[in-house]
Amino acid sequence: MPGPFPGMDPYLESPRHWRNVHESMIPYMRDMLNSSLPSGYVATINERLCVIPGDRKIYPDLTVIRSVDTAKGRGGTATLATPDSYLHIASLLDEVPGESYIEIITADSDRRVVTVVELLSPTNKAPGSGHEEYRAKQREALHSQAHFIEIDLLRAGRHTAAADHEEIRKKRPGWHYLVSLHRAEYESGFDVWAWSVRDRMPRIAIPLEPGVPDVVLDLQTPFDRNYDAGRFPQQIDYRKDPDPPFTGEDAAWIDSLLREKGLRD
């Protein structure tokens, strides 16, 4: 079941939901690409480890404090049907387990990377090591022989996609969400899809190798599948403002839409 918005649901930008959205939408996009890619190409999921500063516990890992020997039981007497000895876990490490992204590779033995598709996360857009790590990967991708696509469905944080922010504003004022495509043959140019919360998500081009036609990825389809499969309608209170909130005409439009859908009184 699609959500109440024609395109991106801004309520899913909340830190409460975004990691679930990110890690679920990547496989849906991978599956859609593999159903459309010509023979000789495969879309795969890769993951990179990200570490964030110590004052930002976002996606915690765990550290070992002490071990417990369960063979003695809690009363010190051996018992039947006891679990194996386990480690008691108590404290947290400030480490993000990983962020997934898509690579389209050749299916031959060379497994050359043809296209990289990134779905930006808050870690990429916030000051700190996560942002710097992403910027380094971005620079590497922009100077490689692969096409590079960045999908930004988050309004919060600094502008991180490689395409120039001010140039996009001049040509498409009022946008909230963005896809930036840098083709390998471009020296510095970008193909950009920019849209607002009032718009359907775009169908974007996925370039491959010279002489091979682009594949089209309809972003709305994996997003709608994700929204439904993740049971987000049961998790979102549309009576409240999204996080981050909208202002002015956009806020009024959202209020009117949600009232029309029966999600606000």
Whether 239 and 166 map to the same domain: the answer is yes
Structural domain includes residue 76:
yes
The two three-digit tokens of residue 150, written as one number: 């960045």
Whether 159 and 244 map to the same domain: the answer is yes
Q: Which residues pair with 150 in a beta bridge?
A: 118, 180
What per-residue confidence (pLDDT) applies to 4? 97
Whether 29 and 128 map to the same domain: the answer is yes
pLDDT tens sequence across 15-56: 999 999 999 999 999 999 999 999 999 999 988 654 444 444
Whether 68 and 190 map to the same domain: the answer is no
Whether 41 and 87 map to the same domain: the answer is no
Mean pLDDT of 58-62: 32
Structural domain includes residue 2:
no
Structural domain includes residue 257:
no
Whether 118 and 238 map to the same domain: the answer is yes
pLDDT tens sequence across 135-182: 999 999 999 999 999 999 999 999 999 999 889 998 899 999 999 999
State the virtual CA torsion across 209, 210, 211, 216 in degrees, nearest 10. Answer: 50
Total count of domains within the chain: 2
Q: Considering only CA atoms, which of 101, 133, 132 is closest in space to residue 33?
A: 101
Structural domain includes residue 259:
no
Q: What is the largest CA-CA distance in the chain?
A: 75
Does residue 71 surpass a pLDDT of 70?
no
Whether 118 and 178 map to the same domain: the answer is yes
Whether 192 and 88 map to the same domain: the answer is no
Average pLDDT of the residues of the chain: 84
Structural domain includes residue 190:
yes
Asked whether 155 and 176 are in contact (CB, 8 A), the reply is yes
Residue 89: give the domain boundaries.
60-93
Lowest mean pLDDT among 44-53, 198-207, 241-250: 44-53
Asked whether 223 and 8 are in contact (CB, 8 A), the reply is yes
Whether 120 and 164 map to the same domain: the answer is yes
The model's pTM: 0.82
pLDDT tens sequence across 89-133: 333 334 444 678 999 999 998 899 999 999 999 989 999 888 898
Whether 82 and 127 map to the same domain: the answer is no
DSSP letter for 44, please. E
Domain end, chosen from 93, 116, 145, is at 93
